[in-house]
Structure 1
Amino acid sequence: MSPVSPRGVRRAHRDFLSRSLIVTASAASMLAVAGCAPSKPAGPAMGPFPVTVTEAKQQNVNLTGEWVGVMDGYTNAQIQPQVTGYLISQDYKEGSVVSKGQILFHIDPRPFQAAVDQAAAQVDQAKGQLAEAEAQLGLAHINVNRDTPLAEARAIAQSQLDTEKQTLAQDEASVIAAKASIEAANAALETAKINLGFTQVRSLISGIAGAATTQVGNLVSTQSTLTSVSTVEPIKVFFSISDAEYLALVAKAKQKGSDLLNSNLPLTLSLASGQKYDHPGKIVFVDRQMNQQTGAIRIAAAFPNPGNVLRPGQFGRISADTQVEHDVLLVPQIAVQEMQGIEQVYTVSPQGTVHVVNVTLGSQYDNSWIVTGGLEPGTKVIIDNLQKLKEGMPVSPHEGTPPAVTSMTTSQATGR
């Protein structure tokens, strides 16, 4: 092994000192930086979370049924001609309001006018025949009156008087037949005039006339439908209710000492836009039997329709108070949360902490749910910041009013 030279020893010593100085400087720099960084103060302790609460109260409520309804004219008339002929004009504006007796169409009247003229001529002819028969009858009376005393005096043969009496009877029969012919001719004339009048196709009711289904120039008959007219003031709304709902309405009507048709039970109509119709309606028709397949019965309500705003074929929702429930427990809709098919409400325990309660819900009423189980009256129910709460969390409650739920209709009741 070769000896290490002094120069090598010195070089190794210098390298060791350099490395030591670098490590010492680095450590000093780190300590300096650490000494300059300010320390963070500890945060304040979190207090109870503020929440808004309302009390679960008991009260009497009017439960309301709601059903889908279809509007129809109070009276609907199909306009059909009563004679056959060519359509020569349309005399109304489609979709306009027409009056009873207003002319809607004209059928070519010329053949019917000719029939009227012919019938009038037959009346004149029958009158002429009557005049001739009456003249013959008068002559027969003269002959009989003249020859009767002569036959008694045997101045003429009795057979001649008998012949004259037979002629008198025949002339009396001819007069009666002529009068009957006049009556028949007058009846034929009246029929011809009626048929001539039928060439003016009139509306039998007042209402809104629909589109024409036959064009001018077409041959129409008594089987043709020219248009339809519907009376829409008032307007009918047809809807179906269940057997149980029907019985509830009947019971409500009996409380007023009346039946369902005469009870004037107020009905509310909600339009497709969600707007409540201004005018209440009443029941005007109840079907004779329950539909065995659906378990529902068909009912019609009548609603005033000023300005003909509502039209047949529109949809709406009919609602009516069906029954009164006493001392039911209500909680705001906004307070109810659903977790895996279970309805829950967040309440404030006596210790001031959150307590989650599973509840059983009944029907909706206004902006609330009817609670049928799981909650006691007077319980403080939390109505805001529900997503931030959890079981046992301390809270600071204050009383408040739940916001209105605009998507629900007033006094709506639906099953769950």
Structure 2
Amino acid sequence: MTRSEAAPRSGRRLTIGRLALAILLLGLIGGGVWYATHRSAGSNPGSSGEPGSSRKTGGFGGGPGGMDRPQPVSALEVQQRDVRILVNAIGTATPRSLVTVRSRVDGELLKLHFKEGQMVREGQLLAEIDPRSFKAQVAQVKGQLMRDQAQLENARLDLKRYQDLLSQDSIAKQQVDTQAALVRQLEGTVQTDQGQLDNAQLQLQYTRITAPISGRIGLRQVDPGNQVKASDANGLTSIAQLDPMTVLFTVSEAQLPNVVSRFQDGKPMDVEAWDREFRNPLAQGKLVTIDNQIDPATGTLKLRAEFPNKNTALFPNQFVNIRLVLGVQPQALVVNNGAILRGSKGNFVYKVQANNTVSMVPVKLGYVEGDYTAVEGELKPGDQVVSDGTDKLKDGAKVEVIKPGAATPSAGNKQKRGKGHKPEQ
């Protein structure tokens, strides 16, 4: 056999060997897969499709292997009590009076007699302006008045002498009339001088700036040594009257008939002011006035309430939540807000029956006060309604009412393991 004939035969043997090796490997892989599959099925008979095998499943509501386990829920009693008819709104605290303290004369600011933020009384001295030029003006006008008064007195004496001579027919009547006119002229001059003196004294008083109202004083806008003018826009400082404090708020025009009718009847309307988060009450007051028109841009009406503010809980321009009390619904059935659910056919609650099952009870919602809502439906005081744990409930489901703070059954099982046990893998 030649070398050229032996080469093809060697290549064919090599190919057949490789093919046999590949078939052997595929067989080994297939056997391993079969073995692993049947071993897993044998160790977990519940997962096989053989007759008689079963697989337990957990959950609430009914069925084999834990499906009958009651669902833990929290429940609260239906109560019967008076419910206030409230209108919620947002408002801004505004001082009853807010005054900008300005100088009424021009001059140099000499002294400030207040501390920023302190409470001041009406008429209390706040600042002084250099009074020297105003004192000089008073002295000048006063001298002019004295001079004109002396001239008037002399003219009156001459008039009396002229009248005596006229009675003796020793002087012409025209001279008497002229003297009488001079007296009246000098009387006018003296009266003008008196007015100028009063004005000069008033300007001198304006150099002592006093508080126009009682309240809390703000930050100073001018330091001593500066020239101040009556035309200064910012003034020296401001004073806000904080007690009582008012709050300006708005309500929807849909509430207008109830609000206006009660206000016009003269019935006092309580108003509560709450903080931004609606958690802490700040003050309680009364509605004092209603605006005379509705804002067409927002469809709201402005109202103003007044609050005692001795503890300064309300501050100017503070944002507050408002509750306006329109009246009271007596002895209404109320449930916790968390118990009210929304369905395709309306609102309902889950009522806990005597056999520890729940039933859906349709309700009609009424007024809301805090965490409770007035309802109408087939409920009575003392009934328990589910307030927490309604996610997986259905009509007729079994429940276990858990008191607040108690552990759920699953949590209790975990606690029985003790501190030394490790969680199961």
TM-score normalised according to structure 2 size: 0.69
Quote the offset at 1:314 in angstroms: 1.5
Which of 196, 200, 204 aligns to 1:196? It is 204
Q: Is the 8 A contact 1:75 1:231 kept in 2?
A: yes
Return the alpha-carbon distance in structure 2 between the equivalents of residues 239 and 105 of structure 1. Answer: 36
Quote the offset at 1:316 in angstroms: 1.6
Structure 1 358/189 Cα, relative in aligned 2: closer, same or farther at 3 Å? same
Return the alpha-carbon distance in structure 2 between the equivalents of residues 227 and 221 of structure 1. Answer: 14
Taking the TM superposition and a 5 Å limit, the aligned residue runs for 1:289-304 are 289-304=293-308
Match of 1:83 in 2: 105
Match of 2:182 in 1: 174
Quote the offset at 1:302 in angstroms: 0.7
For 1:290, what is the secondary structure of its paired residue? strand
Return the alpha-carbon distance in structure 1 between the equivalents of residues 137 and 85 of structure 2. Answer: 67
Quote the offset at 1:71 in angstroms: 0.8
Match of 1:100 in 2: 122
Which of 291, 305, 310 aligns to 1:306? It is 310
Taking the TM superposition and a 5 Å limit, the aligned residue runs for 1:297-336 are 297-325=301-329, 330-336=334-340
Taking the TM superposition and a 5 Å limit, the aligned residue runs for 1:145-184 are 145-146=167-168, 148=169, 164-184=172-192
Q: Deviation per CA, 1:309-355, whole angstroms, max 9, x where unpaired? A: 43211122221222555786533223245799996643446875344
Consecutive unaligned residues in structure 2, runs of 5 or more: 1-55, 57-64, 406-425
For 2:173, what is the secondary structure of its paired residue? helix
Match of 1:239 in 2: 249
Which of 218, 233, 243 aligns to 1:210? It is 218
Two-structure CA RMSD over aligned residues (Å): 3.5
Return the alpha-carbon distance in structure 2 between the equivalents of residues 47 and 57 of structure 1. Answer: 30
Return the alpha-carbon distance in structure 2 between the equivalents of residues 231 and 359 of structure 1. Answer: 49
Return the alpha-carbon distance in structure 1 between the equivalents of residues 384 and 309 of structure 2. Answer: 47
State whether structure 2 residue 191 is matched by structure 1 residue 186: no
Q: Is the 8 A contact 1:285 1:299 kept in 2?
A: yes
Taking the TM superposition and a 5 Å limit, the aligned residue runs for 1:262-281 are 263-272=267-276, 274-277=279-282, 279-281=283-285
For 2:97, what is the secondary structure of its paired residue? strand
Q: Is the 8 A contact 2:88 2:322 kept in 1?
A: yes
Return the alpha-carbon distance in structure 2 between the equivalents of residues 211 and 335 of structure 1. Answer: 52
Q: Is the 8 A contact 1:59 1:329 kept in 2?
A: yes
Return the alpha-carbon distance in structure 2 between the equivalents of residues 326 and 251 of structure 1. Answer: 20
Taking the TM superposition and a 5 Å limit, the aligned residue runs for 1:402-413 are none
Percent identical across equivalent pairs? 27
Quote the offset at 1:142 in angstroms: 4.1
For 1:238, what is the secondary structure of its paired residue? strand
For 1:393, what is the secondary structure of its paired residue? coil
Which of 89, 93, 103 aligns to 1:71? It is 93
Q: Deviation per CA, 1:213-266, whole angstroms, max 9, x where unpaired? A: 223222222222222112111111111111222321233446xxx23xxx2212
Q: Is the 8 A contact 2:216 2:242 kept in 1?
A: yes
Match of 1:411 in 2: none
Return the alpha-carbon distance in structure 2 between the equivalents of residues 248 and 394 of structure 1. Answer: 45
For 1:239, what is the secondary structure of its paired residue? strand
Match of 1:248 in 2: 258
With 348-357 and 110-119 compared, the bigger mean Cα shift is at 348-357
With 95-104 and 377-386 compared, the bigger mean Cα shift is at 377-386
Partner letter of residue 326 of structure 2? Answer: T
State whether structure 2 residue 399 is matched by structure 1 residue 395: yes
Match of 2:153 in 1: 131
Q: Is the 8 A contact 2:359 2:396 kept in 1?
A: yes
For 2:288, what is the secondary structure of its paired residue? strand
Partner letter of residue 246 of structure 2? Answer: K
Match of 1:368 in 2: 372
For 2:202, what is the secondary structure of its paired residue? helix
Partner letter of residue 244 of structure 1? Answer: A
Q: Is the 8 A contact 1:81 1:221 kept in 2?
A: yes
Q: Is the 8 A contact 1:54 1:401 kept in 2?
A: no
Return the alpha-carbon distance in structure 2 between the equivalents of residues 47 and 341 of structure 1. Answer: 29
Quote the offset at 1:82 in angstroms: 1.6
Match of 2:290 in 1: 286
Return the alpha-carbon distance in structure 1 between the equivalents of residues 357 and 287 of structure 2. Answer: 52
Q: Deviation per CA, 1:8-66, whole angstroms, max 9, x where unpaired? A: xxxxxxxxxxxxxxxxxxxxxxxxxxxxxxxxxx9x98764565545556766332112
For 1:383, what is the secondary structure of its paired residue? strand
Structure 1 276/216 Cα, relative in aligned 2: closer, same or farther at 3 Å? same
Q: Is the 8 A contact 2:83 2:367 kept in 1?
A: no
Q: Is the 8 A contact 1:57 1:377 kept in 2?
A: no
Structure 1 310/191 Cα, relative in aligned 2: closer, same or farther at 3 Å? same
Q: Is the 8 A contact 2:134 2:203 kept in 1?
A: yes
Q: Deviation per CA, 1:340-388, whole angstroms, max 9, x where unpaired? A: 999664344687534456767555333223446xx63247522344456
Q: Is the 8 A contact 1:252 1:323 kept in 2?
A: no
Quote the offset at 1:168 in angstroms: 1.6
Q: Is the 8 A contact 2:103 2:229 kept in 1?
A: yes
With 285-294 and 267-276 compared, the bigger mean Cα shift is at 267-276
